[in-house]
Structure 1
């Protein structure tokens, strides 16, 4: 590629996927080539067939030097691909704290959602990093994003990842203390509150199960809730071990 550039090849010629030479260089982690292309006038806002820009690729491969190079050259920091993900969205989804920190330092919007209604905060909540959750909240991520699907809220992502994430308790604590509603539902579309999600998702033998459920209860989770068929919280807890059911009773479940 460097030889072609030196011989005057079109720096913005694209392949069948609409990937420009700059996009390909970034995807391949070729920093020097990317610098050369930009120096020779390569466009930094080109999009491939998936509507991904070179900056998307830099975020995906978690290269903060390329991120700085592209943003300094004028990349669109908030461009969304065909899934509705910005470069910061990809960084949060991947759980890369360094990449998230870099993008936020360049002014990327922390309070955004993809086409399915999942926020960057939700992705961070499932990533296993309490530090990332704090970073996004400190840079303006809102805890009151409208839920568009049953799985779009950050609490759901924490619970789903709990079996593999030792920071789940800390992440849930941060979210609840920063304003996430322990009883928030999708109304008629998905009326089950986070407490029911916890009872359904968390393993009865999971080391964090009791701590996570207690956190929800301490932050006002409704133990008197019943579904449309009259099934109570305790009924949803039938598969959980006795200590969980006793805990629910202590908080008023009947």
Structure 2
């Protein structure tokens, strides 16, 4: 019976992981081919064209069919010079696209540490509530085990204990949507070291320590026990 429950929980976690990954809609080849103006320049990484076109302020935050601004397009395409040029022109660094993702969360989900570094240095916020799950970039990165991204977001003041609409924190997601491997262990350690609340429980009342034990994630259990988790 216990094995069956664990199997069901693992399946549910994988389903949520897949759903979260699919929630972001990157521009397709067809989208890119249809782009004009600043969207096209952002996709190509053409900073000179952005500088030339940016006096048309109304276009800086124009939306494509998925609500993506040129900045979102540049973040998906990892075009950092375009991001810098758009920021210099006054683009909104914290805009949300149709799926409620900002550029910071887009870079975080992609494990794109360099683009994230550029965005944060330009003043983009690590504190926004994003996605259909009412989460944060930190929660998204934690569930994927993107430990370097997690450390950047923590340093930028991301809320450590935000609870999403699944009733999960970044700490909980690093466990229930993780594989217990080295990167998820490093993610959990970064959150613990930053002072995340280790007693916030899921909707069923399970604490992070209980969740790690139930999954047999012994390395995570050791991290939590060493930090005094109950």
Corresponding residue for 2:204? Answer: 229
Equivalence map 1:42-191=2 (5 Å): 53-71=36-54, 76-147=59-130, 149-150=132-133, 152-162=135-145, 168-186=146-164, 189-191=165-167
How far does residue 144 in structure 1 lie from its aligned partner after superposition?
Answer: 2.4
Greater per-residue helix proportion: 2
- Unmatched tracts of structure 1, length 5 or more: 1-26, 29-47, 163-167
Q: Secondary structure at the match of 1:217?
A: helix
Equivalent residue for 1:210? 185
The number of aligned residues is 198
Distance change (3 Å), C-alpha of 1:126 and 1:153: same
Which structure 2 segments of 5+ residues have no match?
Answer: 1-31
Q: If you compute each CA radius of gyration, which structure gives the higher value, 1 or 2?
A: 1
Distance 1:229 1:170, change over 3 A: closer
Change (3 A) 1:232 1:157: closer
2:18 matched residue in structure 1: none
C-alpha separation in 1, matches of 2:144 and 2:195: 22
Counterpart in 2 of 1:4? Answer: none
Measured after TM superposition, the shift of residue 209 of structure 1 is 2.0
**2:152, 2:131 → 1: CA distance?**
22
Distance 1:231 1:99, change over 3 A: same
RMSD: 2.5
Aligned equivalents of 1:222 and 1:123: distance in 2?
A: 25
Q: Does the aligned pair in 1 maintain the 2:144–2:184 contact within 8 Å?
A: no
Question: Which of 1 and 2 has higher RCO (CA within 8 Å, sep 6+)?
Answer: 2
Contact 2:84–2:122, Cα closer than 8 Å, also in 1: no
- 2: distance between equivalents of 1:224 and 1:75? 47
TM-score, normalisation: structure 1: 0.68
Structure 2 Cα separation of the partners of residues 219 and 198 of structure 1: 15
Can you list the C-alpha shifts for 1:18-49, whole angstroms capped at 9, x where unaligned? xxxxxxxxx66xxxxxxxxxxxxxxxxxxx7x
Distance 1:142 1:115 in 2: 18
Between 64-73 and 130-139, the greater mean CA deviation after superposition: 64-73
